[in-house]
A and B are shown apart, each in its own frame.
Chain A
Amino acid sequence: MYRRALTWLLRQTVKLDVYINRIYPSDWNPLYYTGGLAHFFLFLLVLSGILLFFYYVASLDGAYASIRYLSEEVPYGFLLRGLHRYAADGFIVAVLLHLFRNWFTDRYLFARDGPWISGMFLLILGGFVGVNGYQLVWDQRAQAVTEIFVAILGAVPLAGATLVRLFLGSEGISAAMLPRILFLHVGVASFLYVLLWWHYVRLRHPKIWPPATWVLLLLGLLVLLSALPGTRPTAGVPAQPGVRVTAYPLDVFFLLPFWLASYLPPGVVGAGLAGLLLLGYLIPYLKREDESRMGPRHAGVAQVIDGNCTGCELCYYDCPYDAIVMVPSPHPGLTKAAASRKLLAVVIDSRCVECGICVGACPFQALELPRFLEADLMRRIAELVRARAPA
Protein backbone atom coordinates (compact mmCIF):
# COMPACT_ATOMS: atom_id res chain seq x y z
CA MET A 1 0.00 0.00 0.00
CA TYR A 2 2.71 2.46 1.13
CA ARG A 3 4.89 1.17 -1.69
CA ARG A 4 2.20 1.60 -4.31
CA ALA A 5 1.23 5.06 -3.13
CA LEU A 6 4.85 6.19 -3.19
CA THR A 7 5.41 4.78 -6.64
CA TRP A 8 2.40 6.71 -7.84
CA LEU A 9 3.66 9.88 -6.16
CA LEU A 10 7.10 9.39 -7.69
CA ARG A 11 5.58 9.10 -11.13
CA GLN A 12 3.47 12.23 -10.64
CA THR A 13 6.41 14.22 -9.26
CA VAL A 14 8.58 13.30 -12.18
CA LYS A 15 5.75 13.93 -14.62
CA LEU A 16 5.46 17.45 -13.28
CA ASP A 17 9.13 17.88 -14.17
CA VAL A 18 8.38 16.90 -17.74
CA TYR A 19 6.02 19.86 -18.05
CA ILE A 20 8.29 22.26 -16.18
CA ASN A 21 11.27 21.24 -18.29
CA ARG A 22 9.32 22.20 -21.39
CA ILE A 23 9.19 25.76 -20.09
CA TYR A 24 12.70 26.13 -18.69
CA PRO A 25 15.99 24.49 -19.54
CA SER A 26 16.09 21.54 -17.18
CA ASP A 27 18.98 22.92 -15.10
CA TRP A 28 16.64 25.72 -14.05
CA ASN A 29 13.68 23.67 -12.95
CA PRO A 30 12.91 25.30 -9.59
CA LEU A 31 12.00 21.92 -8.15
CA TYR A 32 15.63 20.86 -8.63
CA TYR A 33 16.63 23.65 -6.24
CA THR A 34 14.12 23.39 -3.43
CA GLY A 35 16.92 23.18 -0.84
CA GLY A 36 18.65 26.16 -2.38
CA LEU A 37 15.38 28.10 -2.40
CA ALA A 38 14.81 27.36 1.29
CA HIS A 39 18.32 28.54 1.98
CA PHE A 40 17.79 31.71 -0.05
CA PHE A 41 14.67 32.59 1.93
CA LEU A 42 16.43 31.83 5.20
CA PHE A 43 19.24 34.16 4.21
CA LEU A 44 16.73 36.94 3.45
CA LEU A 45 15.04 36.29 6.79
CA VAL A 46 18.29 36.74 8.65
CA LEU A 47 19.15 39.96 6.82
CA SER A 48 15.74 41.56 7.27
CA GLY A 49 15.53 40.16 10.81
CA ILE A 50 18.71 41.93 11.88
CA LEU A 51 17.27 45.24 10.66
CA LEU A 52 13.90 44.59 12.33
CA PHE A 53 15.73 43.91 15.56
CA PHE A 54 16.84 47.56 15.71
CA TYR A 55 13.23 48.71 15.99
CA TYR A 56 11.54 45.99 17.97
CA VAL A 57 10.66 46.60 21.61
CA ALA A 58 10.03 43.40 23.54
CA SER A 59 7.46 44.53 26.05
CA LEU A 60 3.74 43.99 26.34
CA ASP A 61 2.85 47.63 25.71
CA GLY A 62 5.81 48.46 23.47
CA ALA A 63 5.81 45.59 20.97
CA TYR A 64 2.72 46.41 18.98
CA ALA A 65 3.52 50.14 18.93
CA SER A 66 7.09 49.56 17.79
CA ILE A 67 6.00 47.47 14.84
CA ARG A 68 3.31 49.96 13.93
CA TYR A 69 5.90 52.72 14.12
CA LEU A 70 8.23 50.76 11.88
CA SER A 71 5.65 50.08 9.20
CA GLU A 72 4.00 53.50 9.22
CA GLU A 73 6.65 56.05 10.16
CA VAL A 74 10.04 54.64 9.20
CA PRO A 75 10.85 55.20 5.50
CA TYR A 76 10.53 51.83 3.72
CA GLY A 77 9.85 50.19 7.07
CA PHE A 78 6.83 48.46 5.56
CA LEU A 79 9.16 46.94 2.99
CA LEU A 80 11.38 45.53 5.69
CA ARG A 81 8.46 44.04 7.54
CA GLY A 82 6.87 42.69 4.37
CA LEU A 83 10.10 41.09 3.23
CA HIS A 84 10.47 39.32 6.56
CA ARG A 85 6.86 38.14 6.49
CA TYR A 86 6.79 36.88 2.92
CA ALA A 87 10.28 35.39 3.03
CA ALA A 88 9.04 33.35 5.98
CA ASP A 89 6.12 32.07 3.91
CA GLY A 90 8.47 31.34 1.02
CA PHE A 91 10.78 29.53 3.40
CA ILE A 92 8.19 27.17 4.75
CA VAL A 93 6.77 26.49 1.29
CA ALA A 94 10.25 25.76 -0.06
CA VAL A 95 11.07 23.50 2.89
CA LEU A 96 7.85 21.53 2.48
CA LEU A 97 8.40 21.20 -1.28
CA HIS A 98 11.94 20.07 -0.50
CA LEU A 99 10.69 17.50 1.98
CA PHE A 100 8.01 16.06 -0.29
CA ARG A 101 10.25 16.04 -3.33
CA ASN A 102 13.06 14.27 -1.51
CA TRP A 103 10.57 11.82 -0.13
CA PHE A 104 8.79 11.05 -3.38
CA THR A 105 11.98 10.75 -5.42
CA ASP A 106 13.69 8.32 -3.03
CA ARG A 107 16.32 10.77 -1.87
CA TYR A 108 16.36 9.27 1.59
CA LEU A 109 17.71 5.84 0.67
CA PHE A 110 20.76 4.22 2.21
CA ALA A 111 23.22 6.69 3.73
CA ARG A 112 21.05 9.69 2.85
CA ASP A 113 19.33 9.44 6.23
CA GLY A 114 21.76 12.03 7.66
CA PRO A 115 20.32 14.89 5.60
CA TRP A 116 16.84 13.53 6.22
CA ILE A 117 17.04 13.45 10.01
CA SER A 118 18.74 16.85 10.22
CA GLY A 119 16.10 18.08 7.76
CA MET A 120 13.29 17.02 10.11
CA PHE A 121 14.91 19.02 12.91
CA LEU A 122 15.17 21.99 10.54
CA LEU A 123 11.48 21.66 9.70
CA ILE A 124 10.34 21.52 13.33
CA LEU A 125 12.56 24.33 14.56
CA GLY A 126 11.89 26.40 11.42
CA GLY A 127 8.15 26.08 12.06
CA PHE A 128 8.65 26.98 15.71
CA VAL A 129 10.57 30.13 14.79
CA GLY A 130 7.78 31.09 12.40
CA VAL A 131 5.09 30.73 15.06
CA ASN A 132 7.25 32.74 17.47
CA GLY A 133 7.47 35.47 14.88
CA TYR A 134 3.69 35.85 14.84
CA GLN A 135 3.71 36.08 18.63
CA LEU A 136 6.24 38.91 18.63
CA VAL A 137 3.82 41.30 16.90
CA TRP A 138 1.58 41.10 19.96
CA ASP A 139 -1.65 41.85 18.16
CA GLN A 140 -4.84 39.83 18.48
CA ARG A 141 -3.53 37.08 16.30
CA ALA A 142 -0.43 36.87 18.47
CA GLN A 143 -2.62 36.57 21.50
CA ALA A 144 -4.73 33.81 19.97
CA VAL A 145 -1.65 31.94 18.80
CA THR A 146 -0.08 32.22 22.24
CA GLU A 147 -3.21 30.95 23.95
CA ILE A 148 -3.52 27.97 21.63
CA PHE A 149 0.17 27.17 21.83
CA VAL A 150 0.09 27.30 25.60
CA ALA A 151 -2.98 25.05 25.61
CA ILE A 152 -1.17 22.52 23.41
CA LEU A 153 1.94 22.68 25.59
CA GLY A 154 -0.16 22.32 28.71
CA ALA A 155 -1.77 19.17 27.30
CA VAL A 156 1.59 17.38 27.20
CA PRO A 157 1.34 14.56 29.76
CA LEU A 158 3.32 15.07 32.98
CA ALA A 159 5.61 17.85 31.74
CA GLY A 160 2.82 20.18 30.55
CA ALA A 161 2.73 22.67 33.40
CA THR A 162 6.52 22.95 33.53
CA LEU A 163 6.75 23.56 29.77
CA VAL A 164 4.18 26.32 29.94
CA ARG A 165 6.08 27.97 32.79
CA LEU A 166 9.32 27.73 30.86
CA PHE A 167 7.75 29.15 27.74
CA LEU A 168 5.91 32.06 29.36
CA GLY A 169 8.30 32.78 32.21
CA SER A 170 5.42 32.72 34.70
CA GLU A 171 2.02 31.11 35.18
CA GLY A 172 0.23 33.34 32.69
CA ILE A 173 0.98 36.07 30.19
CA SER A 174 3.26 38.57 31.86
CA ALA A 175 6.06 41.02 31.15
CA ALA A 176 8.50 38.10 31.22
CA MET A 177 7.06 36.60 28.07
CA LEU A 178 8.06 38.71 25.06
CA PRO A 179 11.80 38.96 25.85
CA ARG A 180 11.79 35.17 26.15
CA ILE A 181 10.03 34.77 22.83
CA LEU A 182 12.38 37.21 21.17
CA PHE A 183 15.28 35.20 22.48
CA LEU A 184 13.72 31.95 21.22
CA HIS A 185 12.99 33.53 17.84
CA VAL A 186 16.53 34.79 17.29
CA GLY A 187 18.33 32.01 19.13
CA VAL A 188 16.57 29.11 17.47
CA ALA A 189 16.87 30.80 14.08
CA SER A 190 20.62 31.03 14.60
CA PHE A 191 20.65 27.41 15.69
CA LEU A 192 19.17 26.53 12.29
CA TYR A 193 22.58 27.28 10.85
CA VAL A 194 24.19 24.75 13.14
CA LEU A 195 21.67 22.21 11.92
CA LEU A 196 22.40 23.23 8.34
CA TRP A 197 26.03 22.36 8.93
CA TRP A 198 24.86 18.87 9.88
CA HIS A 199 22.51 18.88 6.88
CA TYR A 200 25.35 19.59 4.46
CA VAL A 201 28.22 17.78 6.10
CA ARG A 202 28.00 14.71 3.87
CA LEU A 203 26.97 16.51 0.70
CA ARG A 204 29.85 17.63 -1.45
CA HIS A 205 29.13 21.06 -3.00
CA PRO A 206 25.52 21.36 -1.82
CA LYS A 207 23.51 23.54 -4.19
CA ILE A 208 22.69 26.15 -1.58
CA TRP A 209 21.81 28.91 -4.03
CA PRO A 210 19.23 28.81 -6.82
CA PRO A 211 20.16 30.18 -10.27
CA ALA A 212 20.52 33.98 -10.31
CA THR A 213 17.39 34.45 -12.42
CA TRP A 214 15.29 32.80 -9.75
CA VAL A 215 16.89 34.85 -7.01
CA LEU A 216 16.09 38.09 -8.85
CA LEU A 217 12.57 37.00 -9.75
CA LEU A 218 11.73 36.00 -6.18
CA LEU A 219 13.24 39.15 -4.75
CA GLY A 220 11.08 41.17 -7.12
CA LEU A 221 8.00 39.19 -6.13
CA LEU A 222 8.68 39.66 -2.42
CA VAL A 223 9.20 43.40 -2.84
CA LEU A 224 5.93 43.65 -4.76
CA LEU A 225 4.00 41.68 -2.16
CA SER A 226 5.47 43.81 0.63
CA ALA A 227 4.77 47.11 -1.09
CA LEU A 228 1.38 46.71 -2.76
CA PRO A 229 -1.42 48.09 -0.58
CA GLY A 230 -3.48 44.91 -0.95
CA THR A 231 -0.87 42.50 0.31
CA ARG A 232 1.38 44.58 2.53
CA PRO A 233 1.27 43.36 6.16
CA THR A 234 -1.11 45.60 8.08
CA ALA A 235 -1.35 46.51 11.71
CA GLY A 236 -3.95 44.25 13.30
CA VAL A 237 -5.75 45.04 16.51
CA PRO A 238 -3.51 45.25 19.56
CA ALA A 239 -3.71 42.34 21.97
CA GLN A 240 -5.80 42.65 25.11
CA PRO A 241 -4.99 39.80 27.45
CA GLY A 242 -8.10 38.60 29.17
CA VAL A 243 -10.37 39.51 26.27
CA ARG A 244 -11.30 36.60 24.07
CA VAL A 245 -10.08 36.87 20.49
CA THR A 246 -12.83 35.85 18.12
CA ALA A 247 -11.40 36.36 14.64
CA TYR A 248 -7.93 36.95 13.27
CA PRO A 249 -6.31 36.65 9.85
CA LEU A 250 -4.87 33.22 9.34
CA ASP A 251 -1.48 32.51 7.84
CA VAL A 252 -2.07 29.28 5.97
CA PHE A 253 1.60 28.38 5.90
CA PHE A 254 2.52 28.45 9.57
CA LEU A 255 -0.68 28.52 11.47
CA LEU A 256 -2.66 25.63 10.04
CA PRO A 257 -2.41 23.57 13.26
CA PHE A 258 -3.75 26.60 15.12
CA TRP A 259 -6.73 26.74 12.87
CA LEU A 260 -7.44 23.09 13.65
CA ALA A 261 -7.29 23.94 17.34
CA SER A 262 -10.49 25.92 17.03
CA TYR A 263 -12.30 22.68 16.15
CA LEU A 264 -10.40 20.04 18.09
CA PRO A 265 -9.16 19.92 21.67
CA PRO A 266 -5.56 21.20 21.93
CA GLY A 267 -4.35 17.83 23.22
CA VAL A 268 -5.57 16.11 20.06
CA VAL A 269 -3.96 18.71 17.80
CA GLY A 270 -0.69 18.42 19.70
CA ALA A 271 -0.73 14.62 19.61
CA GLY A 272 -1.58 14.62 15.91
CA LEU A 273 1.26 16.99 15.14
CA ALA A 274 3.72 15.00 17.23
CA GLY A 275 2.61 11.79 15.51
CA LEU A 276 3.07 13.28 12.04
CA LEU A 277 6.53 14.55 12.87
CA LEU A 278 7.50 11.21 14.37
CA LEU A 279 6.41 9.51 11.15
CA GLY A 280 8.60 12.00 9.31
CA TYR A 281 11.63 10.77 11.21
CA LEU A 282 10.76 7.20 10.32
CA ILE A 283 10.54 7.75 6.56
CA PRO A 284 14.13 6.74 5.75
CA TYR A 285 13.61 3.48 7.62
CA LEU A 286 10.26 2.55 6.10
CA LYS A 287 11.97 1.37 2.94
CA ARG A 288 9.47 1.11 0.19
CA GLU A 289 11.18 -1.53 -1.86
CA ASP A 290 12.16 -5.07 -1.21
CA GLU A 291 15.94 -4.71 -1.18
CA SER A 292 16.56 -7.99 -2.94
CA ARG A 293 14.54 -6.78 -5.92
CA MET A 294 16.27 -3.46 -6.39
CA GLY A 295 18.80 -4.82 -8.88
CA PRO A 296 21.31 -2.19 -10.01
CA ARG A 297 19.80 0.26 -7.51
CA HIS A 298 21.23 -1.70 -4.64
CA ALA A 299 24.63 -2.70 -5.94
CA GLY A 300 26.39 -2.62 -2.58
CA VAL A 301 28.78 -0.25 -0.88
CA ALA A 302 31.77 0.62 -3.09
CA GLN A 303 34.96 -1.35 -2.40
CA VAL A 304 38.51 -0.17 -3.00
CA ILE A 305 40.80 -2.71 -4.61
CA ASP A 306 43.86 -1.96 -2.56
CA GLY A 307 46.44 -3.33 -4.99
CA ASN A 308 45.26 -1.09 -7.87
CA CYS A 309 44.75 2.21 -6.06
CA THR A 310 47.35 4.84 -7.00
CA GLY A 311 46.19 7.46 -4.52
CA CYS A 312 45.27 9.87 -7.33
CA GLU A 313 42.33 11.27 -5.30
CA LEU A 314 39.97 11.43 -8.30
CA CYS A 315 37.31 9.36 -6.54
CA TYR A 316 37.69 11.50 -3.47
CA TYR A 317 36.85 14.61 -5.49
CA ASP A 318 33.92 13.08 -7.33
CA CYS A 319 32.04 11.24 -4.56
CA PRO A 320 28.95 13.45 -4.05
CA TYR A 321 28.46 12.19 -0.50
CA ASP A 322 31.97 12.68 0.86
CA ALA A 323 32.15 8.96 1.51
CA ILE A 324 35.77 8.55 0.41
CA VAL A 325 38.73 9.66 2.49
CA MET A 326 42.38 9.50 1.49
CA VAL A 327 44.67 8.00 4.11
CA PRO A 328 48.47 7.69 4.10
CA SER A 329 49.16 4.47 2.28
CA PRO A 330 50.27 1.77 4.73
CA HIS A 331 52.01 -0.25 1.99
CA PRO A 332 52.75 0.09 -1.74
CA GLY A 333 50.17 -1.05 -4.27
CA LEU A 334 50.61 -4.05 -6.52
CA THR A 335 50.39 -2.55 -10.00
CA LYS A 336 53.16 -0.48 -11.55
CA ALA A 337 51.12 2.71 -11.31
CA ALA A 338 50.34 2.05 -7.67
CA ALA A 339 53.82 1.04 -6.59
CA SER A 340 54.97 4.44 -5.36
CA ARG A 341 51.67 5.77 -4.07
CA LYS A 342 51.56 8.03 -1.03
CA LEU A 343 47.82 7.82 -0.39
CA LEU A 344 45.15 5.16 -0.37
CA ALA A 345 41.41 5.67 -0.90
CA VAL A 346 39.12 4.32 1.83
CA VAL A 347 35.32 4.17 1.57
CA ILE A 348 33.43 4.99 4.75
CA ASP A 349 30.65 2.42 4.52
CA SER A 350 28.13 4.34 6.58
CA ARG A 351 28.23 7.27 4.15
CA CYS A 352 28.14 5.42 0.86
CA VAL A 353 24.87 5.51 -1.11
CA GLU A 354 25.94 2.81 -3.59
CA CYS A 355 25.85 5.12 -6.61
CA GLY A 356 29.10 3.96 -8.18
CA ILE A 357 30.19 7.44 -9.22
CA CYS A 358 33.63 6.70 -7.76
CA VAL A 359 33.87 3.64 -10.03
CA GLY A 360 33.43 5.90 -13.05
CA ALA A 361 35.96 8.36 -11.64
CA CYS A 362 38.75 5.85 -11.13
CA PRO A 363 41.00 5.40 -14.17
CA PHE A 364 42.90 2.56 -12.49
CA GLN A 365 40.15 -0.01 -11.99
CA ALA A 366 40.60 0.29 -8.25
CA LEU A 367 36.94 0.58 -7.28
CA GLU A 368 34.02 -1.78 -7.69
CA LEU A 369 30.39 -2.07 -6.67
CA PRO A 370 30.30 -5.59 -5.22
CA ARG A 371 27.04 -6.61 -6.91
CA PHE A 372 27.83 -4.96 -10.24
CA LEU A 373 31.35 -6.00 -11.15
CA GLU A 374 33.22 -4.61 -14.11
CA ALA A 375 34.24 -8.07 -15.32
CA ASP A 376 30.59 -9.18 -15.42
CA LEU A 377 29.57 -6.07 -17.30
CA MET A 378 32.36 -6.48 -19.86
CA ARG A 379 31.49 -10.12 -20.36
CA ARG A 380 27.89 -9.21 -20.90
CA ILE A 381 28.80 -6.58 -23.47
CA ALA A 382 31.02 -9.01 -25.33
CA GLU A 383 28.18 -11.54 -25.40
CA LEU A 384 25.65 -8.97 -26.58
CA VAL A 385 27.90 -7.84 -29.39
CA ARG A 386 28.80 -11.37 -30.42
CA ALA A 387 25.18 -12.50 -30.44
CA ARG A 388 24.56 -9.92 -33.11
CA ALA A 389 27.78 -10.37 -35.06
CA PRO A 390 27.20 -11.05 -38.74
CA ALA A 391 27.79 -14.75 -39.42
Chain B
Amino acid sequence: MKVIGFVCDWAVSTEGLVDGRGELKAYPGVHIVRIPCSGFMRPDWLEQSLRAGADGAFVTGCPYGDCLNREGNYLMRDRMEQLARRLQRRRVDPGRVAMFAHGLHDQQAFLAEVGAFLRRLESLPQPAARPVRPAVGAAAGEAAE
Protein backbone atom coordinates (compact mmCIF):
# COMPACT_ATOMS: atom_id res chain seq x y z
CA MET B 1 0.00 0.00 0.00
CA LYS B 2 1.41 3.39 -1.03
CA VAL B 3 -0.39 6.41 0.31
CA ILE B 4 0.59 10.08 0.35
CA GLY B 5 -0.70 12.07 3.31
CA PHE B 6 -0.54 15.84 2.95
CA VAL B 7 -0.66 17.27 6.45
CA CYS B 8 -0.97 20.95 7.27
CA ASP B 9 2.00 22.03 9.37
CA TRP B 10 -0.30 23.62 11.98
CA ALA B 11 -2.61 20.60 12.23
CA VAL B 12 -1.98 17.26 13.94
CA SER B 13 1.57 16.79 15.17
CA THR B 14 3.31 13.76 13.68
CA GLU B 15 6.17 13.98 16.13
CA GLY B 16 6.95 10.45 17.17
CA LEU B 17 4.56 9.00 14.60
CA VAL B 18 6.89 8.98 11.59
CA ASP B 19 10.12 7.11 10.98
CA GLY B 20 13.29 8.42 9.36
CA ARG B 21 11.88 8.10 5.85
CA GLY B 22 8.79 10.14 6.68
CA GLU B 23 6.45 7.14 6.77
CA LEU B 24 3.98 6.48 9.56
CA LYS B 25 5.44 3.89 11.94
CA ALA B 26 2.01 2.42 12.53
CA TYR B 27 1.29 2.14 8.80
CA PRO B 28 4.42 1.73 6.70
CA GLY B 29 3.79 2.96 3.18
CA VAL B 30 1.92 6.05 4.33
CA HIS B 31 4.21 9.00 3.55
CA ILE B 32 3.61 12.24 5.36
CA VAL B 33 4.25 15.46 3.45
CA ARG B 34 3.99 18.65 5.46
CA ILE B 35 2.26 21.55 3.68
CA PRO B 36 1.67 25.19 4.75
CA CYS B 37 -2.13 24.90 5.01
CA SER B 38 -4.71 22.33 3.94
CA GLY B 39 -6.12 25.06 1.66
CA PHE B 40 -2.75 25.17 -0.12
CA MET B 41 -3.49 21.83 -1.79
CA ARG B 42 -4.36 22.09 -5.42
CA PRO B 43 -6.86 19.19 -5.63
CA ASP B 44 -5.17 18.16 -8.83
CA TRP B 45 -2.14 17.11 -6.78
CA LEU B 46 -4.16 14.33 -5.16
CA GLU B 47 -5.08 13.03 -8.58
CA GLN B 48 -1.47 13.38 -9.72
CA SER B 49 -0.39 11.29 -6.73
CA LEU B 50 -2.74 8.53 -7.81
CA ARG B 51 -1.56 8.75 -11.41
CA ALA B 52 2.04 8.58 -10.23
CA GLY B 53 1.19 5.23 -8.71
CA ALA B 54 -0.06 5.84 -5.18
CA ASP B 55 -3.01 3.77 -3.97
CA GLY B 56 -4.53 6.66 -2.12
CA ALA B 57 -3.93 10.21 -0.99
CA PHE B 58 -5.38 12.31 1.79
CA VAL B 59 -5.20 15.85 3.18
CA THR B 60 -5.31 16.72 6.85
CA GLY B 61 -6.24 20.17 8.09
CA CYS B 62 -7.07 21.64 11.48
CA PRO B 63 -10.49 21.08 13.10
CA TYR B 64 -13.19 22.97 11.19
CA GLY B 65 -13.46 26.44 12.65
CA ASP B 66 -9.85 26.60 13.80
CA CYS B 67 -7.93 27.11 10.57
CA LEU B 68 -4.98 29.40 11.25
CA ASN B 69 -5.71 30.98 7.91
CA ARG B 70 -9.37 31.29 8.83
CA GLU B 71 -10.91 29.38 5.94
CA GLY B 72 -8.34 26.99 4.49
CA ASN B 73 -9.92 23.76 5.67
CA TYR B 74 -13.48 24.77 4.71
CA LEU B 75 -12.29 25.75 1.24
CA MET B 76 -10.42 22.48 0.92
CA ARG B 77 -13.49 20.52 1.97
CA ASP B 78 -15.46 22.18 -0.84
CA ARG B 79 -12.70 21.54 -3.33
CA MET B 80 -12.59 17.87 -2.33
CA GLU B 81 -16.24 17.55 -3.31
CA GLN B 82 -15.52 19.02 -6.71
CA LEU B 83 -12.52 16.72 -7.03
CA ALA B 84 -14.67 13.68 -6.24
CA ARG B 85 -17.02 14.52 -9.09
CA ARG B 86 -14.13 15.12 -11.45
CA LEU B 87 -12.49 11.82 -10.51
CA GLN B 88 -15.73 9.99 -11.15
CA ARG B 89 -15.87 11.40 -14.65
CA ARG B 90 -12.34 10.18 -15.22
CA ARG B 91 -13.08 6.69 -13.89
CA VAL B 92 -10.96 7.03 -10.78
CA ASP B 93 -12.61 5.87 -7.59
CA PRO B 94 -13.16 8.98 -5.41
CA GLY B 95 -12.85 6.69 -2.40
CA ARG B 96 -9.10 6.86 -2.96
CA VAL B 97 -8.88 10.45 -1.79
CA ALA B 98 -9.99 11.79 1.58
CA MET B 99 -9.86 14.81 3.81
CA PHE B 100 -9.38 14.70 7.58
CA ALA B 101 -9.37 17.43 10.22
CA HIS B 102 -7.29 16.93 13.35
CA GLY B 103 -5.74 19.38 15.77
CA LEU B 104 -2.24 19.34 17.22
CA HIS B 105 -2.99 16.75 19.91
CA ASP B 106 -5.39 14.48 17.99
CA GLN B 107 -2.70 11.94 17.11
CA GLN B 108 -4.72 8.89 18.13
CA ALA B 109 -7.84 9.99 16.24
CA PHE B 110 -5.66 10.80 13.25
CA LEU B 111 -4.05 7.35 13.24
CA ALA B 112 -7.42 5.69 13.61
CA GLU B 113 -8.78 7.60 10.64
CA VAL B 114 -5.75 6.76 8.51
CA GLY B 115 -6.20 3.10 9.47
CA ALA B 116 -9.85 3.15 8.39
CA PHE B 117 -8.82 4.86 5.13
CA LEU B 118 -6.28 2.10 4.44
CA ARG B 119 -8.87 -0.59 5.03
CA ARG B 120 -11.18 1.17 2.62
CA LEU B 121 -8.41 1.33 0.00
CA GLU B 122 -7.80 -2.40 0.37
CA SER B 123 -11.41 -3.12 -0.49
CA LEU B 124 -11.34 -1.04 -3.68
CA PRO B 125 -10.74 -2.68 -7.06
CA GLN B 126 -7.23 -2.35 -8.53
CA PRO B 127 -5.53 -0.56 -10.18
CA ALA B 128 -5.88 2.84 -8.57
CA ALA B 129 -5.50 5.06 -11.61
CA ARG B 130 -3.86 4.68 -14.97
CA PRO B 131 -1.29 7.30 -15.81
CA VAL B 132 -3.35 8.53 -18.79
CA ARG B 133 -0.92 11.35 -19.29
CA PRO B 134 2.49 11.55 -17.70
CA ALA B 135 2.20 13.05 -14.27
CA VAL B 136 3.86 16.43 -14.05
CA GLY B 137 6.06 15.39 -11.17
CA ALA B 138 7.08 12.11 -12.71
CA ALA B 139 8.19 13.83 -15.87
CA ALA B 140 10.12 16.43 -13.89
CA GLY B 141 11.64 13.65 -11.78
CA GLU B 142 12.79 11.74 -14.83
CA ALA B 143 14.27 14.83 -16.41
CA ALA B 144 16.31 15.40 -13.28
CA GLU B 145 17.87 11.98 -13.47
Report which A residues bind B (CB closer than 8 A): 10-11, 14-15, 17-18, 21, 26-29, 32-33, 105-107, 203-205, 295-297, 299, 318, 320-321, 353-357, 359-363, 365, 369, 372, 374-375, 377-389
Please indicate the chain B residues that have their CB under 8 angstroms from the CB of A10 in the complex.
104
- Pick the residue among B2, B45, B79 that contacts A388 (CB under 8 A): B2
Complexed CA–CA distance, A326 and B28 (Å): 45
Please indicate the chain A residues that have their CB under 8 angstroms from the CB of B54 in the complex.
381, 385
Complexed CA–CA distance, A297 and B72 (Å): 14
Complexed CA–CA distance, A380 and B45 (Å): 12
Find out whether the CB atom of B37 lies under 8 angstroms from the CB atom of A355.
Answer: yes
Find out whether the CB atom of B64 lies under 8 angstroms from the CB atom of A15.
Answer: no
Complexed CA–CA distance, A88 and B83 (Å): 46
Find out whether the CB atom of B138 lies under 8 angstroms from the CB atom of A382.
Answer: yes
Find out whether the CB atom of B42 lies under 8 angstroms from the CB atom of A359.
Answer: yes
Please indicate the chain B residues that have their CB under 8 angstroms from the CB of A387 in the complex.
21
Complexed CA–CA distance, A17 and B106 (Å): 10
Please indicate the chain A residues that have their CB under 8 angstroms from the CB of B104 in the complex.
10-11, 14-15
Complexed CA–CA distance, A389 and B2 (Å): 8
B101 within 8 A of A: yes
Find out whether the CB atom of B4 lies under 8 angstroms from the CB atom of A360.
Answer: no
Of the four ranges (under 10, 10 to 19, 20 to 34, 35 or more), the interface on chain B belongs to 35 or more
B94 within 8 A of A: no
B66 to A, closest residue via Cβ: A32
B96 within 8 A of A: no
Complexed CA–CA distance, A203 and B71 (Å): 10
Find out whether the CB atom of B66 lies under 8 angstroms from the CB atom of A26.
Answer: yes
Given A26-B66, A374-B42, A377-B45, A357:B71 Cβ within 8 A: yes
Given A357-B69, A375-B140, A379-B140, A299:B36 Cβ within 8 A: yes
Complexed CA–CA distance, A362 and B79 (Å): 11
Please indicate the chain A residues that have their CB under 8 angstroms from the CB of B53 in the complex.
385-386, 389
Given A357-B71, A375-B140, A379-B137, A26:B4 Cβ within 8 A: no
Please indicate the chain A residues that have their CB under 8 angstroms from the CB of B105 in the complex.
11, 14-15, 18
Contact with A along B12-47 (1 / 0, CB 8 A): 000000000110000001010111110111111100
Please indicate the chain A residues that have their CB under 8 angstroms from the CB of B76 in the complex.
360
Complexed CA–CA distance, A123 and B37 (Å): 30
Complexed CA–CA distance, A153 and B45 (Å): 60
Complexed CA–CA distance, A56 and B104 (Å): 51
Find out whether the CB atom of B9 lies under 8 angstroms from the CB atom of A297.
Answer: yes
Complexed CA–CA distance, A65 and B43 (Å): 66
A25 to B, closest residue via Cβ: B64
Please indicate the chain B residues that have their CB under 8 angstroms from the CB of A318 in the complex.
39, 71, 75
Smallest CB separation, A4 vs chain B (Å): 16
Find out whether the CB atom of B33 lies under 8 angstroms from the CB atom of A381.
Answer: yes
Please indicate the chain A residues that have their CB under 8 angstroms from the CB of B64 in the complex.
26-27
B70 within 8 A of A: yes
Given A14-B104, A29-B65, A362:B42 Cβ within 8 A: yes
- Pick the residue among B49, B65, B68, B103 that contacts A381 (CB under 8 A): B49
Contact with A along B107-133 (1 / 0, CB 8 A): 000000000000000000000000000
**Nearest 9 A-B pairs (CB), nearest first?**
A378-B137, A356-B40, A32-B65, A357-B39, A355-B69, A26-B63, A382-B141, A382-B137, A320-B70
Given A357-B37, A374-B42, A385-B52, A203:B138 Cβ within 8 A: no
Complexed CA–CA distance, A372 and B9 (Å): 13
Complexed CA–CA distance, A377 and B35 (Å): 10
